[in-house]
Amino acid sequence: DIQLTQSPSLLSASVGDRVTITCRASQGISNYLAWYQQKPGKAPELLIYAASTLHSGVPSRFSGSRSGTEFTLTISSLQPEDFATYYCQQLNGYPPWTFGQGTKVDIK
Amino acid sequence: QVTLEESGPALVKPTQTLTLTCTFSGFSLNTPGMRLSWVRQPPGKALEWIARIDWDDDKFYSTSLKTRLTISKDSSRNQVVLTMTNMDPVDTATYYCARTRLEDYQQFLDVWGKGTTVTVSS
């Protein structure tokens, strides 16, 4: 199975900070990667798919990029509602699919 | 409006079989390209994709769980059923179903249910 390694596992930041989360795939997955946000006690919500396509209704401060097998989620200016855990997921071809281990963004 | 709701027992005993139902509305699993996935999350841990069923009844399973899982659909009732045999305490988790779309060769889980929590304990 394809493995995804997210870093960091924990990120402490302040409102207004620019935040970057990285997800590295164990083999090439083209741009078949999505990012989700999950708040405590809630279901995950789709932020980005196809590595860089913003899902409908997601604020433009979120963006995604790809360089080879390394993917990045960037929040340009962290807002109070953005404190959450973020997961990447690879959806390359047929399943099985995998998620990263998650990055928790908390208040510095 | 697309909604999904998971249902099933909150508590199962070790070795028992778990049956979960995802009841959805606002879309059809008969639509070409439409899929539905199950994802689980043990307490305090990461998400784990476990199964998917497609509009054409293709089925896919997690490598580590495939011998224990069966997924099926009843499109007329807008339901997908997941069964997991031989439950163990490590299977304690919140189980989510999520609509899985195919769009321009890209796949993604765009709408999720709220999840149902299953505890495995004697």
Residues of A in contact with B61 (CB under 8 A): 95-96
User: In whole angstroms, what separates CA B22 from the centre of its chain?
Assistant: 7
The mean pLDDT of A2-7, rounded to a whole number, is: 97
Please list every residue in chain A whose beta carbon sits closer than 8 Å to the beta carbon of residue B114.
42-43
Which residues, at least 6 apart from B52, have a Cβ–Cβ distance to it below 8 Å?
A95, A97, B35, B36, B37, B38, B59, B60, B71, B100
Tokens of A79: 């807002």
Residue B6: pLDDT over 90: yes
CA dihedral A48, A49, A54, A59 (to 10 degrees): -20
Residue B62 CA to residue B80 CA, distance in Å, equals 17
pLDDT value, residue A108: 87
Which of 29-88 (A) contact B at CB < 8 A? 31-32, 34, 36, 38, 42-46, 49-50, 53, 55, 87
End-to-end CA gap in chain B: 40
Greatest C-alpha distance within chain B:
47
Q: Give B77 to chain A, closest Cα distance, Å.
A: 24
The pLDDT assigned to B75 comes to 86
**What does the pLDDT look like over B77-111, one tens digit per residue?**
999 999 999 999 999 999 999 999 998 899 999 99
The vertex-B73 CA angle with A4 and B112, nearest 5°, equals: 45
